Amino acid sequence: MEIINRKARHDYFIDEAYETGIVLTGTEIKSIRNGDCNIKDCYGIVKNHEVFLLNMYVGQYKEGNIFNHEESRDRKLLLHRKEISKIEKYIEQKGYTLIPIKLYFKENKLKVELGVCHGKKEYDKRESIKERDIKREVAKNLKNYR
């Protein structure tokens, strides 16, 4: 099961991507396994040489009762010190931000693909749409040709 941030590839150029772990509570991981999660408006920050994910929505777990979690709390990401310092250098530059690209399970552990991105302009978005349409047309023509 994967949760993909489709808006990330549409709105940003992704310069580098990192696979990170994430610190969660028991009810959060159960909700994510049920698919009750949204990373569309989510972004990352570096605070005190640690990386955090803000605005990540994880719905309440039905059977969680008093042990349930906050839905939009800050969640710590697990990265190596060298990777964090590299990300900090990127973020210091104007226009760069940390965006989660997707959430996925790898060997029963939840991983976050975190991208160091800079925003696209309107004409870049139109160009991307045009390229995607051309690829779709070529694939369609090749399929009809056979």
Q: Domains in the chain, ordered, with CATH?
A: 2-120 (2.40.280.10)
Answer with the residue of higher pLDDT: 68 or 47: 47
Residue 95, helix vs strand vs coil: coil
Residue 52 has pLDDT above 90, yes or no: yes
Query: Residue 2: what pLDDT?
Result: 87
Residue 66 has pLDDT above 80, yes or no: no
**Average pLDDT of span 119-146:** 86
Least confident of 2-16, 23-37, 56-70, 130-144: 56-70
Query: Residue 21: what pLDDT?
Result: 94
Task: Give the chain's mean pLDDT.
Answer: 89
Q: Beta strand pairing status for 50-54 and 43-47?
A: antiparallel
DSSP code for 73: -
Tell me how many degrees the CA angle 83-73-5 measures, rounded to the nearest 5: 60
The candidate with the shortest Cα–Cα distance to 97, out of 51, 58, 129, 57, is: 51
Query: Residue 100: what pLDDT?
Result: 94
Residue 67 has pLDDT above 80, yes or no: no
**pTM exceeding the 0.85 threshold for the entire prediction:** no
